[in-house]
Amino acid sequence: MLKMLAHSAWLPFLLLMCVVSTLWGYPFRPPLDLDVTPRTTVLSNGLLGLRRFRGSTLNYSLLLLEEEAGLLYVGARGALYALQASDISSSSLQTIDWEASDDQKQQCLNKGKDNKTECYNHIRFLQRFNSTHLYTCGTHAFSPLCAYIDGREFKISSAFEEGREKCPYDPTKGYTGLLIDQQMYTASQYEFRSFPDIRRNSPNPTLRTEEAPTQWLQEADFVGSALVRKNVSSSVGDEDKIYFFFTEKSQELSPYFSHSRVARVARVCKRDRGGLLTLQKKWTSFLKARLVCSLPDYEFHFNVLRSVFFLEGSGPQDSVFYGIFGLEWKNVKASAICQYSVSDIQWAFDGPYMESREESSSKWTQYTGKVPEPRPGSCITDQLRAKGINSSTNLPDDVLHFVRRHPLMYRQILPQKQRPLLFRRNVDYTKIAVHRVTGLDDQIYHVLFIGTDEGWLQRAVKVDGQLHIIEELQLFEKPQPVESIIISEKQMSVYVGSPTSVVQLPLSTCSRYSSCFDCVMARDPFCAWDGLECVEITSHNRRYESNLTQDILNGNQGCDESTADDQVLHRSRSVMAGDDVLLQCELSSNLATPEWKLNGTELRGYRTDSGYRIGTDGLLVIEARPHQSGDYCCFALENGVHVPVVIYSLTVRQELPAPPPVEPIRPHLTTAIYWTIQTSPSDSPEDFHPNPMSPRFEFLSVRNMKAIYLSLITILGGLCFVLTVVLLYVGFCLQGRRGKYSLRATARTERKRGAHLELKTISSHCNGKPDAHDGLLQIVPGEATTSPNKELPPAPPLPPPPESEYVNGLSATLPSVLRKMNGNSYVLLRQTDGDTTSPLCYSFTEELNRILEKRKHTQLCSKPDESSV
Ligand SMILES: *[C@@H]1O[C@H](CO)[C@@H](O)[C@H](O)[C@H]1NC(C)=O
Ligand SMILES: *[C@@H]1O[C@H](CO)[C@@H](O)[C@H](O)[C@H]1NC(C)=O
Ligand SMILES: *[C@@H]1O[C@H](CO)[C@@H](O)[C@H](O)[C@H]1NC(C)=O
Ligand SMILES: *[C@@H]1O[C@H](CO)[C@@H](O)[C@H](O)[C@H]1NC(C)=O
Ligand SMILES: *[C@@H]1O[C@H](CO)[C@@H](O)[C@H](O)[C@H]1NC(C)=O
Ligand SMILES: *[C@@H]1O[C@H](CO)[C@@H](O)[C@H](O)[C@H]1NC(C)=O
Ligand SMILES: *[C@@H]1O[C@H](CO)[C@@H](O)[C@H](O)[C@H]1NC(C)=O
């Protein structure tokens, strides 16, 4: 009988848990160790120090930072802006409106172009030309134009120039360009029908790539370019080189990769003047090589280059390119980041060439014949000048002929450590920027800022050839690709351009870490713990203070473990035997795993008979028994350190409890639906609900009935109750799973009717971190008007509940939940609708679901028969 009574209260609890479990849980760490999980996740409403600029137009794709002037130039659709780099949201901005005329737009439409995207003037190029002027190009509704901009007045200062040699017609076509010594180097497939081309434009002789008999570029899609300066102190007398990065159709045969496209880097010399007869007005220094970014053990080849960033160092060894790679299949999301040093690229360009025996054949193999002198494709050095070869026009004809037929190098450029720094599934990275930061250990760390196609920015640090993602930040609520990232050391800011706005964020937000362990485990080279708080060490000269703690290498040294205890939350819970108890413990780090100790002994939660389940945000004690009372301590295990988070003193009572202490309702409720029940000391049915309520509320008295039954005062009442319960059980078993879905509906009706229950429904996010410590279901009885946020409305007389509520049987059971969760035991509910269907929600959720479903069916549906006998 008693058992059955207990079970009657179990049922709604289980139903609640079903709802809970559908949305609950964080993933445990994925098995592949290069697939790194960001340590913390910050949603857009949790960003600190964010500034945003949004003009009257769209497509803020192009950013140009001028540190000395403190200006950030933005190229958008039909407009250019000059913003204050210190605060891009400040009103002191200058604007150039430059949209294509209506005539021009009409012509664009007549060409069959899209009037929503293509027939506008998308700014594609903006760079400094000389000390007073900038140079810009726009697609101008499929008829590109360029112009000079007077930097001081921020006005277009010249007549428009023809732009078809310098700027693509199509706003989405891959394009890259540089202005070096007032010469423009660009690469794109400029027109729809034209071949892709790397060009140098006026004033010096125009140069291009060769198209016949050997086409140097095959359907190339350009993503970036960089100037790599010569070593001025070197005696070789080399010259500056320009590198172009792209993906193109593969020409070489390779036994182990069958892709039709490959990532490449090409190189030309800045002072190339073309050949005299052969290769007239063509590059004499063009060479290209394959960039490899593969997971060798997984036979996974990332062959599409999406973006590059050049981090210039003092020499070719520490000048590095970072590349973001993707897969050829458009519908598979995956990204890899590979790093190449300039010296590795030079090594490939100094190696053997490839050749193709038949014209226009795709069978390229290593060239093993004689290589003419001077070495084809090299720049003019002092050594050549000494031989009278002052410029590329002096090069011998056989060299130029060789160059013309052998643009491809045999050696492939492998990334540092022969593997990607990072590989991620389900993420498409779009852009990257990298910054050097000196840690407290005087090591130089590379901090990477990586943008995704959905508007997130990830900050990562390279340690030992691997990336640790410090955090991921949601910059835009509406998913949109990150289109540019620029770092300002002077402003200590990062700027991100996207289709709808430009965002400015501090390079780091150390204050987000509230404890020494949190600060150190973040492994953020910008941050250190000073004994009281997590501080930025780069902005002030704080790095020389002796009391700072930082550990980039391991992320676990330097914090005093005893101080961690000060941060621990203490809670007490008091429940009835047979209850399921959820002890919540949310970990701020996605990399931490939870561990629980009962009276100092570790609990293992995965054996089915243990009576415990450990999830990433809590411990579930299944059917608590008195001997399970004790101190439950939750630890976050990260980088080998156990950090205590919360301690619960759990009391499981066999008999009627003394009046439980009323725990204050926490005001910062964020996640999901919160109810609290506060049982009044006398705990009699009358006290608990002063108004005679709908039949549901009679079940509130189940426990009291039990007490009465036990004390043999109201045997008759007990029997009546038994009958009701049996009826309910039958009803539930017939209902099956429907109850899971109807619970929410009931809750809503409840609120609508203004009953004495207050429900808070606040949107939750699977990855979100509620700031409340108790993300709980709280039921506030009518007379306890301690509503956290607003006054309870006066309770109107309740109409009889609509028939439909009885059909699903839930309205009748809800109060039993309340009873069961008396005192300080809580149940967490998460909302089921909204954007919570993240693929990351699994594991614990599923397990819980399984357990609960099983219990519901095996115990609840079979036992009524037993007990009714
Ligand atoms: C410009 O922004 C719109 C709106 O987000 C987007 O649909 C379009 O693709 C963007 N165009 C370019 C060229 O980036
Ligand atoms: C584009 O053309 C369609 C149909 O021709 C028209 O309905 C729409 O208003 C145009 N959009 C713009 C932005 O001009
Ligand atoms: C910079 O270039 C512009 C455009 O050619 C020219 O008008 C201006 O005089 C130049 N400024 C200087 C300082 O040379
Ligand atoms: C530049 O060349 C000089 C002389 O060859 C050499 O000693 C020096 O290391 C080089 N510098 C760099 C950064 O490579
Ligand atoms: C190369 O330049 C040197 C000095 O500038 C000059 O004496 C020599 O004639 C030039 N050679 C050629 C082939 O132009
Ligand atoms: C750390 O040292 C600096 C100066 O040495 C001092 O200003 C600061 O208060 C110290 N911090 C703590 C928490 O002691
Ligand atoms: C834990 O310690 C408390 C108090 O010392 C004790 O009452 C309880 O029985 C212990 N629990 C277990 C499971 O050992």
Tokens at 207, concatenated? 């140069």
Kindly report the protein residue whose alpha carbon is nearest to atom 7 of ligand 5. 388
Type of residue numbered 762: I
Type of residue numbered 316: P
Name the residue of 128, 129, 131, 132 whose CB sits within 8 Å of the most ligand 3 atoms, as the mutation to test its pocket.
Answer: 132
Q: Who wins on pLDDT, 351 or 542?
A: 351
Of the candidates 648, 678, 677, 671, the residue with the CA atom closest to the CA atom of residue 828:
671
Residue entry with tokens 């971190």 = 769
What is the rounded distance in angstroms from the CA atom of residue 362 to the CA atom of residue 687? 87
Kindly report the protein residue whose alpha carbon is nearest to atom 9 of ligand 6. 530
Tokens at 374, concatenated? 């001077």
| The listed CATH number (2.130.10.10, 1.20.120.50, 3.40.50.300, 1.10.620.20) that belongs to domain 182-427 | 2.130.10.10
Name the residue of 440, 545, 563 whose CB sits within 8 Å of the most ligand 6 atoms, as the mutation to test its pocket.
Answer: 545
Asked whether the predicted pLDDT for residue 642 surpasses 70, the reply is yes
The ligand placed nearest to the CA atom of residue 537 is 6
Q: How confident is the model at residue 564 (pLDDT cuts 50, 70, 90)?
A: low
Q: Looking at the domain covering 509-560, what would its CATH class be?
A: alpha beta
In ligand 5, the atom with minimum distance to the C-alpha of 394 is 13
Taking the centre of ligand 6 as the mean of its atom positions, its distance from the CA of residue 531, in whole angstroms, is: 8
pLDDT per residue over 5-23, tens digit each?
444 444 444 333 333 333 3
Taking the centre of ligand 6 as the mean of its atom positions, its distance from the CA of residue 8, in whole angstroms, is: 59
Asked whether the predicted pLDDT for residue 163 surpasses 70, the reply is yes
For residue 741, list its beta bridge partners.
Answer: none
Q: How confident is the model at residue 698 (pLDDT cuts 50, 70, 90)?
A: very low
What is the rounded distance in angstroms from the CA atom of residue 152 to the CA atom of residue 71? 11
By mean pLDDT, which of 246-255, 461-470, 773-782 is the weakest? Answer: 773-782
Contact (CB, 8 A) for 256 and 300: no
Of the candidates 127, 122, 124, the residue with the CA atom closest to the CA atom of residue 66:
127
- What does 9-71 look like in DSSP terms, one character per residue? HHHHHHHHHHHHHHT---PPPPSSTTSPPPSEEE-GGG-SS-EEE--SSS---EEEEETTTTE
By mean pLDDT, which of 122-126, 203-207, 479-483 is the weakest? Answer: 203-207
Tokens at 143, concatenated? 């008829």
Helix (H) or strand (E) segment spanning residue 828 = none
Name the residue of 57, 58, 102, 115 whose CB sits within 8 Å of the most ligand 2 atoms, as the mutation to test its pocket.
Answer: 115
Q: Which residues contact 132 (CB under 8 A, 6 or more apart)?
A: 150, 151, 152
Looking at every residue in the chain, the average pLDDT score rounds to 75
What is the rounded distance in angstroms from the CA atom of residue 812 to the CA atom of residue 808? 9
- What does 216-245 look like in DSSP terms, one character per residue? S-SS-EEEEEEEE---TT-TT----EEEEE
Q: What angle do CA 757, 758, 762 make, to 5 degrees?
A: 145
Q: How confident is the model at residue 815 (pLDDT cuts 50, 70, 90)?
A: very low
pLDDT per residue over 704-750, tens digit each?
444 444 443 444 444 444 445 444 554 443 333 332 222 222 222 22
Tokens at 639, concatenated? 């980088």
pLDDT per residue over 274-316, tens digit each?
999 889 999 999 999 999 998 877 667 899 999 999 999 988 8
What is the average pLDDT across 73-102? 93
pLDDT in the model for residue 224: 97
Taking the centre of ligand 5 as the mean of its atom positions, its distance from the CA of residue 381, in whole angstroms, is: 13
Contact (CB, 8 A) for 650 and 583: yes
Q: How confident is the model at residue 492 (pLDDT cuts 50, 70, 90)?
A: very high
Roughly what angle, to the nearest 10 degrees, separates helices 2-22 and 702-710? Answer: 160
Q: Looking at the domain covering 568-653, what would its CATH class be?
A: mainly beta
pLDDT in the model for residue 295: 81
Handedness of CA 301, 303, 304, 310 (dihedral sign): positive
Kindly report the protein residue whose alpha carbon is nearest to atom 11 of ligand 7. 630
Distances (CA, A) of 771 to 42, 116, 262, 287, 762: 12, 42, 47, 56, 13
Q: What angle do CA 196, 198, 202 make, to 5 degrees?
A: 125
Alpha helices in 649-714 (DSSP H): 685-688, 702-710
pLDDT per residue over 374-406, tens digit each?
999 999 988 899 998 999 999 999 999 999 999
Of the candidates 72, 76, 69, the residue with the CA atom closest to the CA atom of residue 90:
72
pLDDT in the model for residue 255: 53
Asked whether the predicted pLDDT for residue 823 surpasses 80, the reply is no
Q: Which residues contact 664 (CB under 8 A, 6 or more apart)?
A: none
Asked whether the predicted pLDDT for residue 268 surpasses 70, the reply is yes
- Is any atom of ligand 7 closer than 6 Å to the C-beta of 599? yes
Contact (CB, 8 A) for 644 and 565: yes
Kindly report the protein residue whose alpha carbon is nearest to atom 7 of ligand 6. 545
Q: Who wins on pLDDT, 433 or 568?
A: 433
Tokens at 641, concatenated? 């350190």
Asked whether the predicted pLDDT for residue 258 surpasses 70, the reply is no
Residues with CB under 6 A from ligand 5: 388, 390, 394
pLDDT in the model for residue 460: 97
Of the candidates 760, 868, 758, the residue with the CA atom closest to the CA atom of residue 818:
758
- The pair phi, psi for residue 628, each rounded to 5°, is -90, 5
Asked whether the predicted pLDDT for residue 841 surpasses 90, the reply is no
Which of 114-118, 463-467, 762-766, 826-830 holds the top average pLDDT? 463-467
In ligand 4, the atom with minimum distance to the C-alpha of 314 is 13
In ligand 3, the atom with minimum distance to the C-alpha of 158 is 4
What is the average pLDDT across 773-784? 30
pLDDT in the model for residue 611: 81
Q: Which residues contact 828 (CB under 8 A, 6 or more apart)?
A: 20, 24, 582, 584, 618, 671, 672, 775, 776, 777
Of the candidates 170, 262, 270, 278, the residue with the CA atom closest to the CA atom of residue 225:
270
pLDDT per residue over 521-548, tens digit each?
999 999 999 888 999 987 556 777 778 8
pLDDT per residue over 167-208, tens digit each?
999 999 999 999 999 999 999 999 988 899 999 987 667 899
- Is any atom of ligand 6 closer than 6 Å to the C-beta of 532? yes
Contact (CB, 8 A) for 369 and 213: no
- What does 579-645 look like in DSSP terms, one character per residue? --EEEE---S-TT-EEEEEETTEE----SGGGSEEEETTEEEETT--GGG-EEEEEEEEETTEEEEE
Of the candidates 199, 192, 148, the residue with the CA atom closest to the CA atom of residue 169:
192
- Is any atom of ligand 3 closer than 6 Å to the C-beta of 132? yes
What is the rounded distance in angstroms from the CA atom of residue 432 to the CA atom of residue 487? 10
Q: How confident is the model at residue 607 (pLDDT cuts 50, 70, 90)?
A: low
- Is any atom of ligand 6 closer than 6 Å to the C-beta of 545? yes
pLDDT per residue over 431-440, tens digit each?
999 999 999 9
Asked whether the predicted pLDDT for residue 124 surpasses 70, the reply is yes
pLDDT in the model for residue 751: 29
pLDDT in the model for residue 798: 36
What is the rounded distance in angstroms from the CA atom of residue 91 to the CA atom of residue 128? 24
pLDDT in the model for residue 561: 75
Name the residue of 573, 574, 597, 599 whose CB sits within 8 Å of the most ligand 7 atoms, as the mutation to test its pocket.
Answer: 599
Query: What percent of the chain clears pLDDT 90, i.e. is strictly above it?
Result: 49
Asked whether the predicted pLDDT for residue 589 surpasses 70, the reply is yes
pLDDT in the model for residue 862: 31
Tokens at 465, concatenated? 């050839």
Q: Which sequence spans correspond to the domains of the chain? A: 59-172, 182-427, 509-560, 568-653, 685-855
Q: What angle do CA 817, 819, 821 make, to 5 degrees?
A: 70
What pTM was estimated for this model as a whole?
0.75
pLDDT in the model for residue 567: 75
Of the candidates 790, 748, 777, 792, the residue with the CA atom closest to the CA atom of residue 677:
777
In ligand 2, the atom with minimum distance to the C-alpha of 115 is 1
Contact (CB, 8 A) for 642 and 633: no
Of the candidates 296, 313, 163, the residue with the CA atom closest to the CA atom of residue 229:
313
pLDDT in the model for residue 617: 73
Could you check whether the bond before residue 374 is cis, i.e. omega within 30 degrees of 0? yes
Query: Strand 364-366 and strand 444-452: pairing?
Result: unpaired
Taking the CA atoms of the chain, what radius of gyration do you get in angstroms? 34
Asked whether the predicted pLDDT for residue 516 surpasses 80, the reply is yes
Q: How confident is the model at residue 608 (pLDDT cuts 50, 70, 90)?
A: low
Q: Who wins on pLDDT, 1 or 633?
A: 633
Buried b (16+ CB within 10 A) or exposed e, 726-758: bebbebbeebeeebbebbbebbeebeeeebbbb
Which of 71-85, 298-312, 580-594, 770-784 holds the top average pLDDT? 71-85
